[in-house]
C-alpha cells in the first residue's frame, strides 16, 4: 500500500510539473507572437493588387525568394501554406497569405491588400465588398438548411 501511494504521488508531481512548464512556455510564446504582430503592423503597406491565382502549396514549390526558404525551419518547408500569385504594379509576385483571409481572396479580381513584406495580412474589396464563398457545412448543417427553406 505504501509503494502504490508513493508511485501515485510521484506521477502527480511529474504531471503538475509538466503543466507548470507548459504554462510558462505558452506565455513566452504568446509574448513573442504579439511582438512579431506589432512589427508586421508597423511595416505593413496597403497596395492595390490583381490576384492571378491562389493555392495551398509547399514552400519549395511556391517560387518564393531563396532567403525565405533559408530562414524557414527544415521541418516546416514541406508543410503546405496559402500562396497567392498577384500582380502588384508591373511585377508578378508570389505572396504568402494569412490562413483566415485565404478564403476571402477572389481570383482574377482586383483587391486592396495590406502587405507586410511578402505576407498578406488583410484584404478589402476595391469596388465591392468581399464575400466568403460557400462554407462547408456538416451533415446536420445541411439538414438544418433544408428544414429552414421548407418553412
* DSSP-assigned letter for residue 130: -
86 with 16: CB under 8 angstroms?
A: no
Q: Which of 48, 56, 43 is nearest to 118 (CA)?
A: 43
Angle at 97 between CA 92 and CA 100, to 5 degrees: 145
Per-residue cell: 37: 504582430
**pTM for this prediction:** 0.66
Sign of CA dihedral 39, 34, 56, 114: negative
Q: Where are the domains of the chain?
A: 1-43, 44-125
- State the pairing for strand pair 45-58/91-97: unpaired
Q: How far is the C-alpha of 90 from the C-alpha of 71, rounded, in Å? A: 27
The tens place of each residue's pLDDT in the chain, 151 residues long, gives 688 899 999 999 999 999 999 999 999 999 999 998 899 888 899 999 999 999 999 888 888 888 888 888 888 888 899 999 999 989 999 999 988 888 888 889 899 999 998 899 889 886 666 666 555 667 777 787 777 777 5
Q: Which stretches does DSSP call E strand in the chain?
A: 45-58, 80-88, 91-97, 110-116, 119-125
* CATH topology classification for 44-125: OB fold (Dihydrolipoamide Acetyltransferase, E2P) (2.40.50)
Amino acid at each position: 500500500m505504501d509503494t502504490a501511494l508513493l508511485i501515485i504521488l510521484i506521477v502527480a508531481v511529474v504531471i503538475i510539473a509538466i503543466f507548470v512548464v507548459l504554462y510558462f512556455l505558452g506565455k513566452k510564446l504568446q509574448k513573442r507572437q504579439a511582438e512579431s504582430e506589432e512589427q508586421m503592423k508597423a511595416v505593413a503597406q496597403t497596395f492595390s493588387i490583381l490576384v492571378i491565382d491562389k493555392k495551398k502549396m509547399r514552400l519549395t514549390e511556391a517560387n518564393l525568394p531563396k532567403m525565405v526558404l533559408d530562414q524557414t525551419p527544415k521541418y516546416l518547408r514541406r508543410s503546405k501554406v496559402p500562396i497567392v500569385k498577384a500582380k502588384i504594379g508591373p511585377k508578378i509576385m508570389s505572396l504568402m497569405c494569412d490562413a483566415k483571409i485565404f478564403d476571402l481572396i477572389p481570383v482574377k479580381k482586383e483587391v486592396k491588400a495590406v502587405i507586410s513584406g511578402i505576407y498578406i495580412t488583410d484584404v478589402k474589396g476595391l469596388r465591392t465588398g468581399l464575400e466568403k464563398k460557400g462554407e462547408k457545412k456538416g451533415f446536420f448543417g445541411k439538414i438544418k438548411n433544408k428544414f429552414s427553406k421548407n418553412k
